Amino acid sequence: MKKVGAGFILSVWIASAIFLCPTPGPAQAPAGPAAATAPTPAAPAIEPAALERLKKMSDALKGAESFRFTARTLREQRSAAGPMLDFYMASRVAVARPNRVRVDSSGDVVSASLWYDGKTVTILSGKSAFYGQAEAPPTIDETLRVLSERLQTPLPVAGFLVKDPYARMIEGVKVAFEVGPVRIDGVACHHFVFSEEDADWQIWIEDGDRPVPRRLAVVYKKIEGSPRVVTAMSDWNLSASIPASEFAFQAPAGAKKVDWATGQK
């Protein structure tokens, strides 16, 4: 069999990557003279307000049977020479619970699309016109887990696609606190910080009665170089009408199927 090479394998990695800087803890007031200043109580490691807002965000996504959003991601990767490289990617995401996902991505390195229809997951490299397919579990949650295990890469945005985002994202959290109000693209949001054993992450959640995530920043502490992935999310539609055909893969003219694991025709 003819080997396709690294291009298709890299496109698989990029397509999956749309799915999942360290900051100090809660700010303290400046210290005054010891004799005149009472001790400041330590802030709790986990602030209930941070968990409450994360839960409201989760409930908003859980309640959406089908939804769309756009993700713009900047991912760090260590180069062979040592310095970190930044790779940008823009993705359009469509989800229909419980078992359909469509992702169309284009970026600095490759362009790729992903289809999941409840039975099969397909990834097409837009630049090379090669595609790979594999049998998939019957739910989004299980399929994301399989993708993460097979591709050996973190999937930072996956937490927003699963059945219960809160349960997925809060697992292992040891620190959680609110930084404060901010505006992203003119939209009022609140900024929160969370920390767990393997990662530090920040999330910016829209204010009001539509608490969707607007930005996510993750530092993977146990990966060499502690790479950072920052994703900005926009164009949220939590009541999207998405035709079933959008999740059905049709091979483009001239596209060639390759083995998922080996990248060989």
The residue whose two tokens read 């970026």 is 107
The pLDDT, as a whole number, for residue 235 is: 97
The C-alpha R_g of the chain, in whole angstroms, comes to 20
Per-residue confidence (pLDDT) for residue 239, from 0 to 100: 96
Can you give the pLDDT of all 265 residues of the chain as single tens digits?
Answer: 434 444 444 444 444 444 433 222 333 333 334 444 555 555 569 999 999 999 999 999 999 999 999 999 999 988 999 999 999 999 999 999 999 999 998 888 878 899 999 999 999 988 778 898 989 999 999 998 888 777 655 555 788 999 999 998 999 999 999 999 999 999 999 999 999 999 999 999 999 999 999 999 999 999 888 999 999 999 999 999 999 999 999 999 989 998 766 555 6
Per-residue model confidence (pLDDT) at position 31? 37
Tokens of 46: 């986990």
pLDDT at position 261: 61
pLDDT at 126: 80
Angstrom distances, CA of residue 39 to CA of 25, 28, 32, 152? 17, 11, 10, 47
- Distance from C-alpha of 18 to C-alpha of 136, rounded to nearest angstrom: 18
Compute the half-sphere exposure of residue 105: CA atoms within 13 Å on the CB side of its CA.
31
Interatomic CA distance for residues 91 and 158, integer angstroms: 13
The one-letter code for the residue type at 193 is V
| Whole-prediction pTM | 0.81
Q: Please tell me the total number of residues recorded for the chain in this structure.
A: 265
Q: In the chain, which residue ranges form alpha helices assigned H by DSSP?
A: 6-17, 48-62, 140-151, 165-170
Quote the pLDDT of residue 155: 58
Using alpha carbons only, what angle is made at residue 137 by residues 223 and 171, rounded to the nearest 5 degrees?
45
Which sign does the torsion angle of CA 172, 175, 180, 182 carry?
A: negative
What's residue 111's pLDDT?
A: 85
**Any residues with CB less than 8 A from the CB of 252 and at least 6 apart, and which?**
124, 129
pLDDT in tens, 187-210: 999 999 999 999 999 999 999 999
Confidence (pLDDT) at 176: 97
Domains of the chain: 6-20+45-248 (2.50.20.10)
